[in-house]
Amino acid sequence: MRRMALNLVEILDRLESRYGRQKPCWPTEPYEFLIWWHCGYPASDAACGRGWESLSRNIGIQPQQILTASTRELTNALKPGGMVPELRAMRLKEITARIKDEFGDDLRAGLIGPLKEVRKSLKRFPNVADPGADRILLFGGIEPVAAVPSNCPHVLVRIQYGHERQNYRVTYKEAQQAILSEVAENFEARTRAYLLLKKHGQDVCKRTKPLCDQCAVNTACAFLAGKGRSRASEARS
């Protein structure tokens, strides 16, 4: 099959035709996202959602509610979210204490100034690296950065270049550059890109055993085209 040339916006249009318009299933307020992110482990939408619901019901999510709860109470509330609830309880204590001491209980108000410094502030929180900081900045309405889903940066790189790189950071940067180059620099366009790529990576373009025959953009995918060339080469040999 000959590969069809599609730009990134056309690729996203096809994905949206397949999956429909996507909405985040996580809280977008920066503080609440930090709490949600530690409500599940291994972190996934489902695990974090279960832990978040239990924490909200049994303890509450406000800084003072978390700070005054005992570690044991927090641990029990976080158990529906998966493994190491004791460690996650301590992380929540650490996060809320820092927000109280450094940001006066208002994280958003503290995320102002040069983007480099704002990013640095976010990355001082537990388990927040560049992808997490980008996600908070974008969905929190702070800066329309080119955020890429942390668990599937390979999606864009596969479609456009044929295969992801061995180095995760390189893969992430290549996917980010594609968004920077081709997706309008506004919150609506870039949150749309993030959510559609995330959905496609979770449902079809899986890291292992991708379901290429079910892919809405397989006619434009360099990864699938490469697989086809490999099979043809094997057949001739």
pLDDT tens digits, residue range 79-127?
999 999 999 999 999 999 999 999 999 999 999 999 999 999 999 999 9
Q: How far apart are CA 101 and CA 214, in angstroms?
A: 50
pLDDT tens, position by position, 168-201: 999 999 999 999 999 999 999 999 999 999 999 9
CATH 1.20.1730.10 for domain 30-139, yes or no, is no
Q: How far apart are CA 152 and CA 148, in angstroms?
A: 8
**Residue 50 in tokens:** 């279960």
For residue 5, the model assigns a pLDDT of 80
For the chain, the domains span: 8-23+147-236, 30-139
**Residue 145 in tokens:** 């950065």
Q: What is the mean pLDDT of the chain?
A: 93
CATH topology of domain 8-23+147-236: Endonuclease Iii, domain 2 (1.10.1670)
With tokens 């609506």, the residue in question is 188
Q: Measured on CA atoms in the order 182, 184, 187, 191, is the torsion positive or negative?
A: negative
Q: Do domains 8-23+147-236 and 30-139 have the same CATH topology?
A: no
Whole-structure pTM value: 0.92
pLDDT tens, position by position, 38-85: 999 999 999 999 999 999 999 999 999 999 999 999 999 999 999 999
In the predicted structure, residue 228 carries a pLDDT above the cut 70: no
| Neighbour count for residue 6 (Cβ, 10 Å) | 17
Q: How far apart are CA 235 and CA 188, in angstroms?
A: 46
Radius of gyration of the chain (CA): 20
Q: How far apart are CA 101 and CA 60, in angstroms?
A: 19
φ and ψ at residue 158, rounded to 5 degrees: -60, -50
Q: Is 206 helix (H, G, I), strand (E, B) or coil?
A: coil
Q: Which of 62, 3, 77 is nearest to 27 (CA)?
A: 62
Q: Which residue has the higher pLDDT, 116 or 226?
A: 116
For residue 231, the model assigns a pLDDT of 41
Residue 1 — very low, low, confident or very high, per pLDDT cuts 50/70/90?
Answer: low
In the predicted structure, residue 130 carries a pLDDT above the cut 80: yes
Cis peptide before 42 (omega within 30 of 0): yes
In the predicted structure, residue 233 carries a pLDDT above the cut 60: no
Helices 45-58, 71-78: inter-axial angle, 10-degree rounding:
130
